[in-house]
Structure 1
Amino acid sequence: MTRTPFTRRRLLQSLSAGLALGPLASLSALAQKPVPPAPPSLRGLFTADEMHSAHQLRELALRDNRSYEMLERLTTEVGARLAGSEADLRAVNWAVDFMQSLKLDKVWKEPVQYPVWERISESASVISPFPHKLQITALGHSISTPEQGIQADILRVADLAALKALPAGAAQGKIVFIDHKLRKSSEYGDVASGRSRGASEAARKGAVALIIRSVGTDSHRLPHTGVMHYDDGAPQIPAAAMSNPDADLLNRMLQRGQPVRLDLRLQTRSAPDFTSYNVIGEWRGTELPDEYVLIGGHLDSWDPGTGALDDGAGCMITAGALDCLVRRGIRPRRSIRLVFYANEEQGLLGGKAYHAAHQQEISRIQAASEADSGQGPVKRLRSYVRPEALGIVRQMQEVLAPLGVAAGGNDGHPGPDMGVLRDAGAASFSLDMQADDYFDYHHTADDTFDKVEPARIRQSCAVYAVFAWMAAQSPLHFGSGPALKKS
């Protein structure tokens, strides 16, 4: 195959003119015509022509993706998307129309059922020794307090482990306060365990309610919500989070050696099963269309903000990546499937439903990677593939290095909703994003579009575009199936 020389200058000229790039048509041609056999030293790797095309795609995708504009549309036209709400179904209908507008080959939705939970009202105040109104939010799935509220002294514990270590009855009649501060994003899982499991542990010790320091790295007076769960057989008590400055305030009061008494009032509502949907779109491959690369994010969000970073950004990073290929008719060997998952926030329910509906096709998943860590930029690429495919991974890392993406190991995880697929043996990739400010806004009223920086989200989109194309174009299968599950 002969190629017209391609230069960075020509790329920029074409972009500024808004024209389709002549050399980029070769990307489509590679997927539609037989590729000459590689020399023995390169068999199982991308050819020089394919690597050249990947470099071209990287430059194009960085400068010509619509992820930022797509996210503006979602946050403006839909906004907050609490699972089980009227806005949930509006978001589903919006997403179907949106994917169809991308001119994918197929768009469909698959049902996901779950119970409804919603907040109605929430307030808390220090009654004594120094009256103050606190900024709080109910945790997802929390029951209500009595209408007259709960008035009780607080019992501070450092973290969930300290709560578990208390003797039986140590919290009798009290409101337990878990004061575990999130200092950096890598600690999130450990700190969030107090949010998810603290209420049942506190109830076992005799507590009448739980209030936690928000699981966030900020010092804003905005509480962070999030889901909690009641253990089977444990008493159920109301649970809420307070802002970090208010947690500091309580600590200063406690340091004065006097009992601190709170008034806590929560009103929530639960209802029987609600039906929402995973929204799915597919761009069909040319040679192996029944094998596919799986990308996406979760469509639902919490209700205080508009779900811009969590996870509107992930949906539109991956949608923008696929859009970069579709607008130019670039079809790799395998299909690329885009999924907007339902109800990740309250228990990964969309991901579980996708696995249940597609568990017989795990070996057909070439690679899976979900974007659910904000806007980026992507800082590292990690894989989870059979050893024979690591040469391909190294080539992917080579192409992405100019975007500031470091090479990682073969310990990748595809993300929350796709984790069940990895557990079942799906080859997976981690496109690790910079998240040093993510938990400043996570699950708060501050999760809004103005926090999104165009350069950051567009870099993430470009990385996903290159990843998706190279994974789908790979001359090797990455190894999804029972053998990878056992590795």
Structure 2
Amino acid sequence: MRKFKKLLVFPLAFSLTIAVAQRGNAPQFRGGASQIKYPIVEAIVKEANENSQLEQLAHELLDGIGPRLVGTPEMQQAGDWAIEKFKSWGIEAHSEKWGEWRGWQRGPAHIDMIYPRVKSLEGMQLAWSPGTNGKTITAETIILPYFQDSLAFQKWLPEVKGKFVMISMMQPTGRPDKNWEEYGTKESIDKMNRERDSLTRAWQKRIQNTGHTSRTLPVALEKAGALGIITNNWSKAVGADKIFGAYTKKIPTVNLSLEDYGLVYRLTQSGKKPKLSMKIESKDLPVAPAFNIIAAIKGVEKPDEYVILSAHFDSWDGASGATDNGTGTLTMMEAARILKKVYPNPKRTILVGLWGSEEQGLNGSRAFVEDHPEIVANIQAVFNQDNGTGRVTSLQGQGFLHAYEYLGRWLTYVPREVRQHIETSFPGYPGTGGSDFASFVMAGAPAFSLSSLSWDYGTITWHTNRDTYDKIVFDDLRNNVILTAALAYAASEDPAKSSREKIVLPIDPSTGKPREWPKPVSPTRRGGLD
């Protein structure tokens, strides 16, 4: 998630006057405004703590179905599962198609070193990687060398024919920074940092001098007759690698673990001419629908005004997408389940938006904003969660001038033990990316990111092969369910419609004029097909 400069910071233990029509659920004042108790919120807390469905939902979605890469059968299966769950809770839900995506399905991958010794290697194909057509292919490895310029690269290019090409830098250490900081001397730490920085700059220059980018280089190697592409995208945590997408169309692209990539790299570098064998099973499928899952608890007084519980449903597929964004999805689904049970007749309509293809550029939420201007114009608030399993600790105003008034008012509904963790900053700046709240902010709708405590999200689980069920901290997730449900209840009940007045953005030094509010971006509606 993006980090924002904090403008005005307010503690949450402040006193506010609450004037909210409760339809028979009037707040009970006990020792001042900070002690207001709401029967509905008490019921939310009781249900969340005593009848939580989080573990079972996580098991069904993450263990049973697994990752939800856009365009895959697993994404479709997950969508069907979510609709069935919502309907079992009495919540109307449907799949809303907004585009098409390249169809693909991952299969098993077997990668072995067979010379100069035999060793099964830890690795996996990247998303959308071609397979080996049911065959086991064997070849020597070659390292992308340093070139003075693109002409030298073109002259060398025939050397890759029939070989596996290694195109990533070999890391100088497989130990995470925290390990070095705990056990290293100042001299050894400084030396390691200098070496790694120098190697990183040199490798970037190596890629640049080919005349290609990291996206176009694999394609050039494929066209020159390479048999496969080998990469390593280490996440700086033991055993964790970032697993993104392949750019090749006919030959496999695989990520080897830091340890095995380094092994093969060193053997290649020292002239041992290692040979690898691969059998990569994946298959292209017919074009698949790209969709969002939309669920609704209809409002009874203002049905055409909306509170949206927002999370992206898709994931990368290196693991099961547990904390990115299974946890956000589970939070919003569980909050909706509880609200339907204890608050079945909200004043405003409560929507749940589980967005598709966030990972490729917020496409699902951008499509929703583009396709539903009538909803966007009447949004009371969007609450989005998408940065891991931790309890929410930060909420900022996204550049809406009066967000401190209504967010502050709604936060007083939240139990003290939940809101005590949260630091607010107002008015903040409008988000332009990072997650789906930005799609709504750019359209001028009040949308807010429920930003979470790290739990080393960036290194251990974000887009990695280690983003699995066991990384979920369910106590923090229950905290977030209570927060989300209480905020949704408060926003729904508020007699006032939330203000959309925006701040005047700072001066742009290049023009001498105030910056403009970011404009909505259209989604990619045909992924991997053009």
Superposition CA RMSD, Å: 4.5
Residue 246 of structure 1 corresponds to which residue in structure 2? 260
Q: Which of residues 383, 405, 411 is equivalent to 2:397?
A: 383
Residue 407 of structure 1 corresponds to which residue in structure 2? 424
Residue 477 of structure 1 corresponds to which residue in structure 2? 498
* Structure 2 gaps, min length 5: 1-17, 178-199, 208-212, 506-515, 519-530
The alpha carbon displacement at 1:199 in A equals 4.1
Residue 169 of structure 1 corresponds to which residue in structure 2? 154
Quote the Cα distance in structure 1 between the aligned partners of 2:140 and 2:317.
Answer: 28
Quote the Cα distance in structure 1 between the aligned partners of 2:293 and 2:310.
Answer: 10
CA contact (8 A) 2:44 2:342 kept: no
TM-score by length of 1: 0.71
Quote the Cα distance in structure 2 between the aligned partners of 1:50 and 1:30.
Answer: 18
Quote the Cα distance in structure 1 between the aligned partners of 2:499 and 2:265.
Answer: 52
Q: Kindly provide the amino acid, as one letter, of the partner of residue 285 in structure 1.
A: G
1:134 is the counterpart of 2:121: yes
The alpha carbon displacement at 1:344 in A equals 4.1
CA shift in 2, pair 1:72/1:126, >3 Å: closer
1:73-472 equivalences under 5 Å are 73-75=60-62, 78-104=65-91, 106-112=92-98, 113-126=100-113, 132-144=119-131, 147=135, 149=137, 151-155=139-143, 168-169=153-154, 172=157, 173-174=159-160, 175-179=165-169, 198-204=214-220, 208=226, 209-220=228-239, 224-229=242-247, 238-250=252-264, 252-253=266-267, 262-263=276-277, 265-275=279-289, 277-301=291-315, 305-329=319-343, 331-345=345-359, 348-396=362-410, 399=414, 402-403=417-418, 404-409=421-426, 410-411=428-429, 413=431, 416-438=435-457, 439-442=459-462, 446-472=466-492
Deviations 1:125-175 (A, max 9, x none): 4465555432221111223457563634333699xxx99999643872441
Identity of aligned residues (%): 22
CA contact (8 A) 1:380 1:432 kept: yes
Deviations 1:231-255 (A, max 9, x none): xxxx876422122332343455467
Residue 30 of structure 1 corresponds to which residue in structure 2? 21
Deviations 1:259-278 (A, max 9, x none): 66655553432233223642
CA shift in 2, pair 1:80/1:253, >3 Å: same
Residue 486 of structure 1 corresponds to which residue in structure 2? 517
CA contact (8 A) 1:114 1:274 kept: yes
Quote the Cα distance in structure 1 between the aligned partners of 2:430 and 2:323.
Answer: 22
Q: Kindly provide the amino acid, as one letter, of the partner of residue 422 in structure 1.
A: V
CA contact (8 A) 1:139 1:227 kept: yes
Deviations 1:329-373 (A, max 9, x none): 265543221022334456654334433432453222233233333
Quote the Cα distance in structure 1 between the aligned partners of 2:44 and 2:342.
Answer: 14
* Structure 1 gaps, min length 5: 1-26, 37-46, 185-189
CA contact (8 A) 1:84 1:116 kept: yes
Q: Kindly provide the amino acid, as one letter, of the partner of residue 93 in structure 2.
A: V
CA shift in 2, pair 1:266/1:69, >3 Å: closer
CA shift in 2, pair 1:284/1:229, >3 Å: farther
CA shift in 2, pair 1:115/1:164, >3 Å: farther
Quote the Cα distance in structure 2 between the aligned partners of 1:415 and 1:283.
Answer: 28
The alpha carbon displacement at 1:415 in A equals 5.3
CA shift in 2, pair 1:127/1:74, >3 Å: closer
CA contact (8 A) 1:325 1:331 kept: no
Quote the Cα distance in structure 2 between the aligned partners of 1:425 and 1:338.
Answer: 19
TM-score by length of 2: 0.66
The alpha carbon displacement at 1:59 in A equals 5.1
CA shift in 2, pair 1:442/1:123, >3 Å: farther
Q: Could you say which structure has the higher helix fraction? A: 1
CA contact (8 A) 1:321 1:464 kept: yes
CA contact (8 A) 2:398 2:447 kept: yes
CA shift in 2, pair 1:478/1:318, >3 Å: farther
Quote the Cα distance in structure 2 between the aligned partners of 1:451 and 1:96.
Answer: 25
Residue 5 of structure 1 corresponds to which residue in structure 2? none
CA contact (8 A) 2:391 2:480 kept: yes
Quote the Cα distance in structure 2 between the aligned partners of 1:227 and 1:164.
Answer: 27
Q: Kindly provide the amino acid, as one letter, of the partner of residue 227 in structure 1.
A: G
CA contact (8 A) 1:122 1:138 kept: yes
